[in-house]
Amino acid sequence: MNYVSSETYSLSQAIADDDADELSGFRNQFYIPQHHNSDCIYLTGNSLGLQPKQTEAYIKQELSDWATHGVEAHFRGKHPWYYYHHFCEEVLSELVGARKQEVAAMGSLTNNLHLLLVSFYRPVGRKYKILMEANAFPSDQYAIESQVRFHGYHPDDAIIELAPRPGERFWRTEDILRCIDEHRDELALVLMSGVNYLNGQFFNISEITAQAHQYKILAGFDLAHAIGNIPLQLHDWQADFACWCSYKYLNSGPGGVAGIFVHEKHSNNPSLPRFAGWWGNDESTRFEMKKGFHPQPGAAGWQLSNAPVLHMAAHRASLDLFKQAGINRLRAKSEKMTLVLKQIIDQYNQMATVRLQCITPDAMDERGCQFSLIASERGKEVFDVLTQHGVIADWREPNVIRMAPVPIYNSFMDLYRLKEILFNLAK
């Protein structure tokens, strides 16, 4: 389907596209916020995903088992709590392209990042520096700053922040690879986002990892804006580790349980340094209550405390929808929707006095479903007008509007309605 056209995206085309969309029924599986008794145009799934309607039933099942069995629900519940994290492994492994033992639903994003850095940031001699993209999400910046200080280094010296070229808005893969090459004798770790939160750029994880490994440098990734957005192949790409949250594209609720990936070349190495906890211990001996930590095989060996079952139930409710939809089908729809959105923005700019400059890469393999737009002037006015008309987008200071048509619940009609609002605004 080709949307690169000078013609305005029409109502009849939106209806036809929704009728032809084999994933359109998933929209009915979510609660859509309302604006004047109609569905709003929700384009902020890159910040907080919508609630699946089945979430309540999934949580109620665990509440029922708690009420009925008390502590025995760890073994006698419908989904025994003792093994609860295993119920998420199949779908998570499909979403990130991993083997089941390489993933674990656990903790929160920044906590997990710190736990992984204990294992994978091991500065020695001259190799003590970390490479990351400039303007990474603040929590990543804070985590890295505190980690290098913990090891006795100063962030200004130990952190190499790579920015786009002067006058450009996103990173060139060749520049990232060149930076790794130039600092190969100093780097202990490359830590990048999978998708940059501000401009929506999808980094080439495979090439970055291969370049790092060429110089025996470890490579890890924050997938907060990538998981559930773009198909990933972490095992085949040989990434050493990754972490993510679940409340964005994975729709698992505010503060929902996060997750990790640890490649099997590391995850089955019990001698790898880590901070240990009871729930990471071998399940078969956990209740023997003995001294001496014996980690579970795989990423689950990084767990600390028992699973937060109510949050995990919400997580399962959404993951089960992803299992039905399939990440490849979602990606195909996402590509079509972003082409439509790009066409709408381009045509709006031909009419408007307040233009919206796209800072997300044009190349399809360098972006997910997020578009980030810089308003040349009076950007907050544009954002406020969109809000007044029922568009829930995202404003990031000083002048960025982020929009994400999420394929599992957004429709082509959403994009048509957005077009009508923008074109009226341009008049």
What average pLDDT does this structure show over 36-54?
Answer: 97
Structure confidence at residue 255 (pLDDT):
94
Do 256 and 270 belong together in one domain?
yes
Residue type, 165: R
Mean pLDDT of 257-275: 93
State how beta strands 218-222 and 187-193 pair: parallel
* CA 179/CA 184 separation, integer angstroms: 8
pLDDT of the residue at 102: 98
Q: Is residue 39 part of a domain?
A: no
421, 275: one domain: no
Determine the residue type at 152: G
- Looking at residue 3, its pLDDT comes to 39
Q: Does any domain span residue 2?
A: no
Last residue of a domain, one of 292, 324, 356: 324
CA pair distance 230, 219, nearest whole angstrom: 19
- 167 and 193 fall within a common domain: yes
Whether 5 is covered by a domain: the verdict is: no
State the pLDDT confidence band at 6, using cuts at 50, 70 and 90: low
Tell whether 167 and 308 lie within a shared domain: yes
Question: Is there a single domain that holds both residue 222 and residue 100?
Answer: yes
Rounded distance between C-alpha atoms, residue 149 and residue 386, angstroms:
43
The answer to whether 267 and 298 are in contact (CB under 8 A) is yes
**Cβ contact 334:135 at 8 Å:** no
Domain that holds residue 204: 58-324
Task: Please tell me whether residues 24 and 62 are part of one structural domain.
Answer: no
Residue 198 lies in a domain: yes
Q: Which amino acid is at 284?
A: S
In a domain, 38, yes or no: no
pLDDT band at 267 (very low <50, low <70, confident <90, very high): confident
Average pLDDT, stretch 113-137? 97
* Same domain for 283 and 342: no
3-state secondary structure the chain: CCCCCCCCCCHHHHHHHHHHCCCHHHHHHECCCEECCEECEECECCCCCCCECCHHHHHHHHHHHHHHHHHHHHHHCCCCHHHHHHHHHHHHHHHHCCCHHHEEECCCHHHHHHHHHHHHCCCECCECEEEEECCCCHHHHHHHHHHHHHCCCCHHHHEEEECCCCCCCCCCHHHHHHHHHHCCCCEEEEEEECECCCCCEECCHHHHHHHHHHCCCEEEEECCCCCCCCCCCHHHHCCCEEEECCCCCCCCCCCCCCEEEECHHHHCCCCCCCCCCHHHECCCCHHHCCCCCCECCCHHHHCCCCCCHHHHHHHHHHHHHHHHHCHHHHHHHHHHHHHHHHHHHHHHHHHCCCCEEECCCCCHHHECCCEEEEECCCHHHHHHHHHHCCEECEEECCCEEEEECCCCCCCHHHHHHHHHHHHHHHC
Q: What is the CATH number of the domain that holds 368?
A: 3.90.1150.10
Instruction: Please state the domain count of the chain.
Output: 2
260 plus 400 within the same structural domain: no
**Residue 421 and residue 378: Cα distance in Å, rounded?**
17
CATH number of the domain encompassing residue 234: 3.40.640.10
Domain end (from 256, 290, 324) = 324
Average pLDDT, the chain: 95
pLDDT of 2: 39
- Answer positive or negative: Cα dihedral of 208, 214, 215, 218: positive
pTM of the model: 0.95
User: Could you report the per-residue pLDDT of 359-414, keeping only the tens digit for each?
Assistant: 999 999 999 999 999 987 788 889 999 999 999 999 998 899 999 999 999 999 99
271/416 same-domain check: no
Residue 213 belongs to some domain of the structure: yes
Please check whether residue 230 lies inside any domain of the structure. Answer: yes
- Tell me the average pLDDT across 136-141: 94
Q: Say yes or no to pLDDT of 18 above 80.
A: yes
Residue 66 and residue 22 share a domain: no
pLDDT digits (tens, 9 = 90+) for 86-106: 999 999 999 999 999 999 999
For the record, the structure tokens of 353 come out as: 């006095």
Q: Answer yes or no: are the C-beta atoms of 54 and 29 closer than 8 Å.
A: yes
Give the pLDDT band of residue 287 (cuts 50, 70, 90): confident
Domain end residue (candidates: 264, 292, 324): 324
Per-residue pLDDT tens over the stretch 323-350: 999 999 999 999 999 999 999 999 999 9
- The answer to whether 101 touches 267, Cβ cutoff 8 Å, is yes
Query: Around Cβ 283, how many Cβ atoms within 10 Å?
Result: 14
- Residue 235 contacts residue 150 (beta carbons within 8 Å): no
The model's pLDDT over 153-196, given as tens digits with 9 standing for 90+, comes to 999 999 999 999 999 999 999 999 999 999 999 999 999 999 99
Do 319 and 344 belong together in one domain? no
CA–CA distance, 46 with 338 (Å, rounded to integer): 14
Same domain for 271 and 410, yes or no, is: no
In a domain, 252, yes or no: yes
